[in-house]
A and B are shown apart, each in its own frame.
Chain A
């Protein structure tokens, strides 16, 4: 896949600056408006919580974990589609992501296509 039908603004939350910057650069190269936050708390306190149309969220972060952020997001903005990422090898990650309310999940490292497909699945742009 080289193009994306979804256009809406995206937020990326990852504690790793290298990862969030690279993802932001890639999504911007695809013409998406992407903002980044280093922690779930900062995202939850930001105006982007209600502005973005998709959240790409890292699972393992110091302080508040991805699953805890997701719970808060579901309370604050019930419709916001969330893609959960993990860098760890976790057998039940898919199930846990869905149980937590994620719309899609990604295992790091992932290809551009996998990322775009996950966003489309999450946002319903692709069925």
Chain B
């Protein structure tokens, strides 16, 4: 059988055409009627192309044909043309330059409908575009290779990570991006992937790396998945994640945890970290030693098992609080394995996870034995100083105290001798004797009170913590100072409402000493009043959550340059003063969580104010 071109052309889906150099159709095959559903006569019309080719494609068609005429090189162009039924069909025109019998240039070729192929191409193009778009937008470095590992495409992230440009590596094997020492592993990886080709992380970064253009290695996490290329070929999409940052963070975490452990071992405290299941995550050496364990023996063990049921129950409120996110703090006693008990200061501090959730808690236990001993010693020194101060005060008041005792003694002696005389009378005045005896008894009590006050102030004792009514205490002190007040020729008044009873907690003797010192100073100052008669006023009043005792005098006032100096030991306003009074007062007030300060009154004279917390 021989090839018959005419028969072939008559049956093949090809439309032979001959065009004038300007593109006008001079001849069209019969199949043209099938291709576009228009009669051949229609094709020969002058405006055939412009009325049928889709406007967007007309320019391209005209230019291509002109190029063929000009250059004589055949071309194949695809363009869209309207079918009579309104469809748009894709046409592939293959055309070359010919010479007519009259010598003029013409174009000859054929048209073929390629609508189906075009549609597929567009679809493929679109899917590949999508893949590339995806590639470009992926946060990871992505490299697309064919199934043999030849690089087809990579995104900007990959270019940046590998420090290669796509144009430099396209077509070369991805193996070249792998450090030489690791290349031998590639077949094994690929085989594993072939056996189970779904997208997964192949290598978690422990040991796998890529080599950049400058020869440096970088640890990466590699995962691959299969995609279908535009030509139906299987391609590999490789995703590379830089692990240097993650590794660095991991390393930092490891070293910071190590640092934490080392630090926890050098702090002078017992430290442990407990999880929400109450198991030890971590303990320091001191903590383990105290409980008689080795560190590694404790981690993972239950907290309640180690500290004991009793202490765990005592701690339960604090543990609930810390698990709710609140740091708690308390003081208590703790026993070691040998039964030795020490006073401790315990802090429970919540540990937070990345989401802010409580993942456990730290227990930090400080041994406060020496702190308590120091505080005790401090208190003892203060007590001793206060005592010395009181003894000194008694010395200063000796004359007044003698007077306070001499008054009732005088009354007792006179009454007793009067009674003797009354008993010797005839008849004896027994009624008057009875009254004399009652007066003796009252005077005896009064002398007894003076002695009791002296004994109070001279006694050396432990600091007490009791409720003290400041108004009645102030009255006691004013009574005690009666002779002093009289001999100094001043007036002392107290203004404290009886309706309110401002009570504070503290040591009654020390507070009495405080008031005594302030009043003695004020009386002494008032005796030097510029005015004829000196005055001291004491006002006891509540101020919010505090009680204020204000002792004001009409004396010459305080030196204005530095009133605070007066509270320094051995600084005195008086020529005969030791200068300890106000220093002791300040220390007493501070031991009672209060404040003491001095100031000058606008109208002259000084005022000393004490503020103590209400009980």
Contacts and interface: CB of A to CB of B under 8 A. Distances in A.
Contacts of A109: 406, 409-410, 412-414
A60 B487 contact: yes
B46 interface: no
B422 A29 contact: yes
A19 B413 contact: no
B400 A88 contact: yes
Contacts, number: 93
Interface stretch (A20-28, A46-54, A76-84): A20-28
A87 B418 contact: no
Interface in B362-417: 399-400, 402-403, 406-415, 417
Interface stretch (B215-223, B439-447, B462-470, B516-524): B439-447
Interface in A103-127: 108-112, 115
A87 B413 CA distance: 14
B411 to A, nearest CB: 4
A109 B440 CA distance: 14
Interface in A25-53: 25-26, 28-30
A112 B442 CA distance: 20
A70 B402 CA distance: 24
Nearest to A59: B487
B399 A89 contact: yes
Nearest to B414: A22
Contact of A22 (B406, B439, B483, B487): B439
A16 interface: yes
Given A60-B486, A61-B486, A112-B417, A88 B408 contact: no
Q: Is the interface of B mostly helix, strand, loop or mixed?
A: helix
Contact of A25 (B400, B432, B485): B432
B422 A19 contact: no
Nearest to B492: A62
A25 B406 contact: no
B243 interface: no
A21 B442 CA distance: 12
Given A29-B422, A87-B406, A87-B410, A18 B417 contact: no
A112 to B, nearest CB: 4
Contacts of A62: 485-486, 489, 491
A108 B442 CA distance: 18
A87 B405 CA distance: 8
B487 A88 contact: yes
A25 to B, nearest CB: 4
B414 A26 contact: yes
A83 B7 CA distance: 172
A108 B486 contact: no
B421 interface: yes
B349 interface: no
Given A18-B408, A21-B411, A30 B421 contact: yes
Nearest to B490: A62
A20 B435 CA distance: 14
Contacts of A25: 414-415, 418, 432, 435-436, 439
Contacts of A30: 421
A90 B436 CA distance: 29
B328 to A, nearest CB: 59
Given A30-B421, A87-B483, A88-B483, A108 B415 contact: no
A108 B443 CA distance: 14
Nearest to A106: B410
Contacts of A65: 489
Interface of B: 399-400, 402-403, 406-415, 417-418, 421-422, 425, 432, 435-436, 439, 442-443, 446, 483, 485-487, 489, 491
Given A22-B411, A26-B414, A87-B402, 12 more contacts: A19-B407, A22-B410, A23-B414, A25-B435, A29-B425, A29-B432, A30-B421, A61-B486, A62-B491, A88-B483, A90-B399, A108-B409
5 contacts: A15-B486, A18-B439, A22-B411, A62-B491, A88-B483
